[in-house]
Structure 1
């Protein structure tokens, strides 16, 4: 134990000394302004016109990005023989002399992004011959064409990662990447590629990741890269994707064909390892209901070198011959599916996430998911589903997210939620549904079509916006522990239907849900943090909110003329971060509450430039109120002293007038008084 303690102490001392040395090194800087640390120099944004020569000779990494270095000569890097990583991004670099890397042959990573290598690409090609250890090369945004790339990559036998993004490559053939047998990652996105000849990538026997996104490819008819794991073909013009008919096992794991023009489900390899298939934003659908499947074969002709290969494919066939058992994430959103074949999803036994939103589905059977016991997320929103079918076979115990918003549902299968014990988020917004009440004696005639939320004991987020609900029954959310509830665009007559979940709610939206002015009591909502009361007809601010710890409050488009906020000591003002106030008829002479809000530096009013107030039936922006308005308000609202100042001159004037009248008509007045007061004397 003693020896072990000594060794531990020595180790700690060594680490401490190393840290101190590195800290001292980190504080160093060169005369040119480069920041230096252990074998690392950061010379970015220094307006340099050449490679600095005052750096330590043993540096291994040098950053020269965003300078003005237009050429690299032999002497530029000769002082740094240990250099392994060099970055020259955004320099306007045009020339790399043929012998520029002779003094730095250990370079493994070279970034030439956003320069003008195309200007002198032949000399740069000669310079790259002296980089026998180069593994990472970035030539993106250099105006390169295919023949230039072919020349630059002529002797890159050790290259593992290559980036050619944002160039002007229009065509790829089998000569471009010949010899790159160690290449593992290739990115050619954001070019103008409209054709990839057969055999272009066949030499890349170690290629694992290929990115061809944002090009102009019309189709893929002979995909045969069995070694590839990730293929990105998004944002092209693909109408068809077909794999080569091989008995070999494909290593493909992620395939992205989203944002294309696909008309049919892609013909995948028979044996593969695809776990993520992204097909969103295409024009796919199944056609067997529209066409005769007996006469629906199409011949595809593949011309390769001097040979021609013709393949007949039944394009209307609904059976997917490829093995889909490995699929975990399938995104077919934003397509044109009107229905799904019965056995289409059944084969996906490993499915975790299924997205079918923004399609044209009229019906959907949850029984199709009977084999997907691990399904966590299901999105059927933005369809035309009027009927949701379900038998007793499916089990959705693992389902956490279920979105059925923006459909035509009026009812749901009975006991649909009984097996969804793990459901956390449910979105039924914009369907014409009604909620069940547990009080059987109070059942209505349409309760047979209502949705029972009581089995969803694990539910946290519930969205019921725009369902036409009339919330007047108690206990509709009995047993739930919701934290997020959206009841916007419904008819909420009072808050009593929410009393079963009021203590757990963090977010509550009652936007456009209060048909008339209500006196709302939120005193039971002690955990509420986000409240949306916008687009209602409230005239009285709910005073119960003042002592809550809200973080966000939306009061837009109501009928508030003032807010009862008189000082910054309220609990609401201590926690509130965001407050929306616009489109209310506030009184310009009652804006003292706004000054209270402005005194609190933690409160942000994003729509303050749109907040207006009323003064004599004229609405003005509160941030542009003329200085005369506050003075006019003093006269209009009336202060005690102000009243005295107004009444006193009037009273004095009146008294002076009386005194003048008395002095003027004194004799007449006295005579009249004597005559009225004269009485007979008794003897």
Structure 2
């Protein structure tokens, strides 16, 4: 048996050494310092001034980012005929010889990001023409203007991806991309483009993705890229978007015009494949309701073929002429909508994600004619909603899983609106002056309360700042809440959580416990995150020490100490993050602080702001002076210090007893003799 074990051990050692040899052979370094892994040479951050010539001739990728290479000479890449990818990001490349790529016929990807190509761009253009198989080219961060780019792109007909970000391009015309018929992706963000001539992109018949974000475009008046699938126009100055009126089907799938100056809803193509429309942070609204019939129409005189006709046109039509039935994700948050036309949302029959937050809506209709049956996410927060319309038995709300109504002016809502949402998982009603129904108010007359009873799908509930007095024990009966926020309310106890305390994982009671003296969290055995900050608590709840909390926030209270005496307690073993600042901790009772800071697993984000009190002076715990530490050591010196302090008292007492004995010795002896005197034998 021992021999078998010995041979097994030898076999294991052989296999282990064999694999180590394979691993060592797969990764080694060249004399120039490049790390070689398979057929990739990693030569980043080596301060190389030229292309290294000591690499294997069969390498396929050469990564030379962040070096000092200034040029590609005729023989720089001659010995690497299989090179497929060359990256020269953040160098000083300003010149490329005419024959620099003559022996690299397989080169498909070239990155020249963050170089000095603008200095000798004609030389670079001549060198690029020899890269006949180039498909991916990055020329970003090179201070290139439109004339330079036109020169550089001449005859690069094989390109499929082109990055021109962070240059100084100001306008685009048709000569800019002439001949680039294979181009599929084009990125021009972070330039200064303020004008695009009509038919500029007509040669790009295979273009699928176009990124024009972070430019100075004022409008789009003739969008006609029918083959385009993704268009990013965010962070410009666009006030209007008009598509070309043609009967051809557009392939557009994603359109981003967020962070612009749009005044009207964009005029989209009649036929398209749009599933994502991002229009947040604009100035859009509908105008028809703000004008009477006489002022919202205008008569236009049309003269044609010696004939005249008058056409009446609505100046501010609410109707959207485009087909919106394909839209799945719509973001029109942070605009100025104060109402929505009747058929606006109904036309988005496939919509599952809608953001309408940060607008000026004062009413919203949850009826069948507005809400589609596929809607899963709806954000109406930060409006001025005071009224919500709802019809009982609306099955269109069955799939709604996320609903945010926070920061509105809601006081009364349809009582059973949420119980009809069978898939509702997350509900945010924060900052609304509402009241919650209990089992008793659920029977009989509607009292204007919101019914959250018996919604088993509800797991995330936020009721922060609703001015609630949570004194009923059954307001969450029939729910399976896991995350609850009742901050900035008035709590008399935690009895209202008796149906959910064993399931809750996250609980926020910020600024809500001012009327509670004793808090017991013993029943909250599933709790992993707790926020009891801003409550003026004078005593740390001892029951927390026995919970498996991962995140705890106790900042801005009146705590003088925390009852943590060992690094092996349940709380200290599970804790990942704790907030402690703005508490009057006692500078001489910081043993708990040492335990927490010595643990590498515990993060204290506000560590630099924690202060403590020493003789009515507040100072930062991390910067306690030596005299304070010495004073605390003297005060908390233990048994030896107690002995030293009690010694003078003991000596004084003994001396006093001795003096008393000397003074009263004779009278005491006489008294004893007189009292116990007996005759001798």
Instruction: Judge same fold: TM > 0.5, yes or no.
Output: yes
- Residue by residue over 1:458-508, the C-alpha shift from the partner in whole angstroms, topping out at 9 and shown as x without a partner, is 111000000011010011001111110001001111111101011110000
Aligned to 1:306: none
Distance in 2, matches of 1:587 and 1:529, equals 28
Q: Is the 1:210–1:228 contact (alpha carbons within 8 Å) kept by the matching residues of 2?
A: yes
Distance in 2, matches of 1:45 and 1:325, equals 52
- What's the CA shift for 1:185? 0.6
- What's the CA shift for 1:634? 5.5
Matching of residues 128-207 of structure 1 within 5 Å: 128-207=128-207
Partner-residue secondary structure (3-state), 1:210: strand
- What's the CA shift for 1:22? 7.8
Aligned to 2:615: 616
Partner-residue secondary structure (3-state), 2:543: helix
Distance in 2, matches of 1:45 and 1:171, equals 36
Distance in 2, matches of 1:441 and 1:237, equals 53
Q: Is the 1:107–1:131 contact (alpha carbons within 8 Å) kept by the matching residues of 2?
A: yes
Aligned to 1:464: 463
Aligned to 2:81: 81
2:589 is equivalent to residue 590 of structure 1: yes
- What's the CA shift for 1:124? 1.3
Q: Is the 1:25–1:36 contact (alpha carbons within 8 Å) kept by the matching residues of 2?
A: no
Alpha carbons of 1:299 and 1:103: their partners in 2 closer, same or farther (altered >3 Å)?
A: farther
Q: Which moved more, 1:183-192 or 1:620-629?
A: 620-629
Distance in 2, matches of 1:338 and 1:441, equals 34
Distance in 2, matches of 1:608 and 1:81, equals 57
Q: Is the 2:240–2:266 contact (alpha carbons within 8 Å) kept by the matching residues of 1?
A: yes
- What's the CA shift for 1:640? 6.2
Alpha carbons of 1:546 and 1:654: their partners in 2 closer, same or farther (altered >3 Å)?
A: closer
Aligned to 1:437: 438
Aligned to 2:16: none
Count of residues in Structure 1 that have an aligned counterpart in Structure 2: 645
Aligned to 1:408: 409
Matching of residues 280-679 of structure 1 within 5 Å: 280-292=280-292, 296=296, 314-367=314-367, 370=370, 372-392=372-392, 393=394, 395-440=396-441, 448-633=447-632, 636=635, 642=641, 644-649=643-648, 652=651
Q: Is the 2:419–2:452 contact (alpha carbons within 8 Å) kept by the matching residues of 1?
A: no
Distance in 2, matches of 1:95 and 1:526, equals 68
Distance in 2, matches of 1:221 and 1:130, equals 39
Aligned to 1:115: 115
Distance in 2, matches of 1:382 and 1:485, equals 20
Q: Which moved more, 1:336-345 or 1:581-590?
A: 581-590
Q: Is the 2:588–2:632 contact (alpha carbons within 8 Å) kept by the matching residues of 1?
A: yes
Q: Is the 1:366–1:388 contact (alpha carbons within 8 Å) kept by the matching residues of 2?
A: yes
Alpha carbons of 1:84 and 1:570: their partners in 2 closer, same or farther (altered >3 Å)?
A: closer
Q: Which moved more, 1:604-613 or 1:92-101?
A: 604-613
Gapped regions of structure 2 (runs ≥ 5): 1-18, 301-310, 675-681
- Residue by residue over 1:236-293, the C-alpha shift from the partner in whole angstroms, topping out at 9 and shown as x without a partner, is 0000100011011111000000000000000111111110000000000011122346
Distance in 2, matches of 1:464 and 1:634, equals 47
- Output the TM-score relative to the length of structure 1: 0.88
- What's the CA shift for 1:34? 1.5
- What's the CA shift for 1:54? 1.5
Distance in 2, matches of 1:163 and 1:463, equals 44
- What's the CA shift for 1:654? 7.2
2:273 is equivalent to residue 241 of structure 1: no
Q: Is the 2:362–2:385 contact (alpha carbons within 8 Å) kept by the matching residues of 1?
A: yes
- What's the CA shift for 1:606? 2.3
Q: Which moved more, 1:60-69 or 1:137-146?
A: 60-69
Aligned to 2:217: 217
- Residue by residue over 1:98-145, the C-alpha shift from the partner in whole angstroms, topping out at 9 and shown as x without a partner, is 221112232111111111111111111111221221111111111111
Distance in 2, matches of 1:486 and 1:662, equals 73
Q: Which moved more, 1:645-654 or 1:284-293?
A: 645-654
Partner-residue secondary structure (3-state), 2:455: coil
Q: Is the 1:25–1:38 contact (alpha carbons within 8 Å) kept by the matching residues of 2?
A: no
- What's the CA shift for 1:603? 2.4
Aligned to 1:34: 34
Q: Is the 1:343–1:368 contact (alpha carbons within 8 Å) kept by the matching residues of 2?
A: no
Partner-residue secondary structure (3-state), 1:412: coil
Q: Is the 1:293–1:317 contact (alpha carbons within 8 Å) kept by the matching residues of 2?
A: no
Q: Is the 2:475–2:496 contact (alpha carbons within 8 Å) kept by the matching residues of 1?
A: yes
Q: Is the 1:517–1:537 contact (alpha carbons within 8 Å) kept by the matching residues of 2?
A: no
Partner-residue secondary structure (3-state), 1:546: helix
- Residue by residue over 1:332-352, the C-alpha shift from the partner in whole angstroms, topping out at 9 and shown as x without a partner, is 001011111111010100001
Distance in 2, matches of 1:561 and 1:24, equals 57
- What's the CA shift for 1:592? 2.7
Distance in 2, matches of 1:200 and 1:155, equals 17
Partner-residue secondary structure (3-state), 2:588: helix
Q: Is the 2:368–2:396 contact (alpha carbons within 8 Å) kept by the matching residues of 1?
A: no
Q: Is the 1:494–1:518 contact (alpha carbons within 8 Å) kept by the matching residues of 2?
A: no
Q: Is the 1:207–1:228 contact (alpha carbons within 8 Å) kept by the matching residues of 2?
A: yes
Distance in 2, matches of 1:313 and 1:274, equals 28
Alpha carbons of 1:175 and 1:568: their partners in 2 closer, same or farther (altered >3 Å)?
A: same
- What's the CA shift for 1:529? 0.4
Distance in 1, matches of 2:365 and 2:254, equals 27
- Residue by residue over 1:544-581, the C-alpha shift from the partner in whole angstroms, topping out at 9 and shown as x without a partner, is 22211111111111122222222233211221121222
Partner-residue secondary structure (3-state), 1:395: helix
Matching of residues 91-110 of structure 1 within 5 Å: 91-110=91-110
Distance in 1, matches of 2:660 and 2:322, equals 115
- Residue by residue over 1:166-192, the C-alpha shift from the partner in whole angstroms, topping out at 9 and shown as x without a partner, is 000001001000111111111111000
- What's the CA shift for 1:82? 2.0
Alpha carbons of 1:125 and 1:299: their partners in 2 closer, same or farther (altered >3 Å)?
A: farther
Distance in 1, matches of 2:199 and 2:386, equals 49
Distance in 2, matches of 1:34 and 1:670, equals 104
Alpha carbons of 1:245 and 1:637: their partners in 2 closer, same or farther (altered >3 Å)?
A: same
Aligned to 2:72: 72
Aligned to 2:677: none
Q: Is the 1:516–1:537 contact (alpha carbons within 8 Å) kept by the matching residues of 2?
A: no
- What's the CA shift for 1:647? 4.8
Partner-residue secondary structure (3-state), 2:121: helix
Q: Is the 1:26–1:35 contact (alpha carbons within 8 Å) kept by the matching residues of 2?
A: no
Alpha carbons of 1:450 and 1:147: their partners in 2 closer, same or farther (altered >3 Å)?
A: same
Aligned to 1:16: none
Q: Is the 1:516–1:538 contact (alpha carbons within 8 Å) kept by the matching residues of 2?
A: no
Q: Is the 1:213–1:235 contact (alpha carbons within 8 Å) kept by the matching residues of 2?
A: yes
- Output the TM-score relative to the length of structure 2: 0.89
Q: Is the 2:491–2:516 contact (alpha carbons within 8 Å) kept by the matching residues of 1?
A: no
